Amino acid sequence: NRGTPIAVKLLAQTLGEQGHSVHLLVFHEGEEISLPNVTIHRSASLPGIRDIKPGLSLKKLICDFFVFLKAIRLLRSGSFDLVHAVEEAVFMALALKFLFRIPYVYDMDSLMSLQLVEKYPSLHLLRRGMEWLEKKAVQNSSGTIAVCRALEDTARKFAPSNLIVRLEDITLLTDAAEEQDSLRQRLGIPGTMLMYVGNLEKYQGIDLLIESFREALDTTAAAYLVIIGGSQDDILFYKQRVEQLSMEGRVFFCGQRPVDMLGSYLSQADILVSPRIQGNNTPMKIYSYLDSGKAVLATKLPTHTQVLDDSIACLVAPEKTSMAAGIITLVNNAELRKNLGARARERVKSEYSLPVFKKKVAAFYQALFLR
């Protein structure tokens, strides 16, 4: 239920529906799904390698190695037109291009060199080497798909003459009936509900959110915070932090929930929060937040401002006092919340809907095959 796997599923489904024969190579763990014209292949299952978290890790590097071996076996046994490589898989695709003379598309969901340094500052000396590899990956690709404006600008800087397009994520909300889980009733929430949805990794800014909420409670006693998502270890860590700040009964952790219940949960909130403090790619949750028609509170950083502006969201500096002020403003102004939400929903319909996404995918591949 994380952003990148959801985006990959949507892309594979779209390509399959458009008549392409897709072979999707993934890690060994995950639920089994069925998509039109899509065959799913899994890498070897490894003892002790479970619950792989976002970002660089030893577990992920080990899994990547076995994905690469599986890719070699697939290319030796089948006939493929190209490789569509997501994130670090592009380095495998670069090697496969020279081994099998097969072209590849770079699906650029983040700037990995930046992620590496932000998560592990001690590895800053490796950043230039990673940037060089990313540059070579773009230059040798048949085309690059960037998930946001910042990454599109980077890709164009690396290879100005290459085929490069921006393909933003889209809302995950649908009109289908969803299972209901009344949070207000179950958790006993009588006042204004703030909600965060997503993992609880450090780059998401959960520490900032919790500390800002503590400061806001000193001014407004009508607010409650619901956090959906996160591993059990991360939830335990932040529950202890909430207890230290004496906010039991004000902050609730609901754990991981099915994506198909996202709309039901967002509809119950008054304010949706994205406190991200690192990275330059736009969080996938933002598009569903906007589509919910609820007010959005987010940090005023490029990760958000390449999609959000002051007409559709409350943007605040990534520090405690500013975010607390944003919380207080939205809690105390229902009319502002209503207006922000209405304008945000209109923006999604015109720019970040499923029909728009499908048209962009079809146009990219048509341009690719005509080159």
Span 128-140, pLDDT tens digits: 899 999 999 999 9
* DSSP secondary structure code for residue 6 in this structure: H
Task: For residues 102-110, give the mean pLDDT.
Answer: 96
pLDDT of amino acid 177: 53
What pTM, to 2 d.p., does this model score?
Answer: 0.86
Cα–Cα dist 29/7, whole Å? 17
Find out whether 185 and 272 touch, Cβ atoms under 8 Å.
Answer: no
For 360, other C-beta atoms within 10 Å of its C-beta total 17
More confident residue, 49 or 283: 283
Find out whether 44 and 54 touch, Cβ atoms under 8 Å.
Answer: no
Percentage of the chain surpassing pLDDT 70? 98
Helix or strand or coil: residue 193?
Answer: strand
Dihedral sign for Cα atoms in the order 209, 328, 256, 277: negative
Residues 5-51 have pLDDT tens digits of 889 999 999 999 999 999 999 999 888 899 999 999 999 988 888 88
The secondary structure of 9-47 as a DSSP string is HHHHHHHHHTT--EEEEE-S-S-----TTEEEEEPPP-T
Going by pLDDT thresholds of 50, 70 and 90, the confidence category of residue 113 is confident
Cα–Cα dist 331/126, whole Å? 44
- Return the amino acid letter for 343: R
Does CATH number 3.40.50.2000 belong to domain 3-170+353-370? yes
Residues 196-228 have pLDDT tens digits of 999 999 999 999 999 999 999 999 989 999 999
Average pLDDT, the chain: 93
Residues 253-273 have pLDDT tens digits of 999 998 889 999 999 999 999
Q: According to CATH, where is 3.40.50.2000 located in the chain?
A: 3-170+353-370, 183-351
pLDDT of amino acid 126: 84
pLDDT of amino acid 304: 97
Going by pLDDT thresholds of 50, 70 and 90, the confidence category of residue 176 is low
The CATH number, out of the four listed (3.90.230.10, 3.40.50.720, 3.30.930.10, 3.40.50.2000), of the domain defined by the range 183-351 = 3.40.50.2000
Whether pLDDT at 341 is above 70: yes
Burial 43-66 (b: 16+ CB within 10 A, else e): beeeeebeebebbeeebbeebbeb
Q: Cβ contacts of residue 188 below 8 Å, gap of 6+?
A: none
pLDDT of amino acid 360: 96
Task: For residues 179-186, give the mean pLDDT.
Answer: 87
Task: For residues 344-355, give the mean pLDDT.
Answer: 94
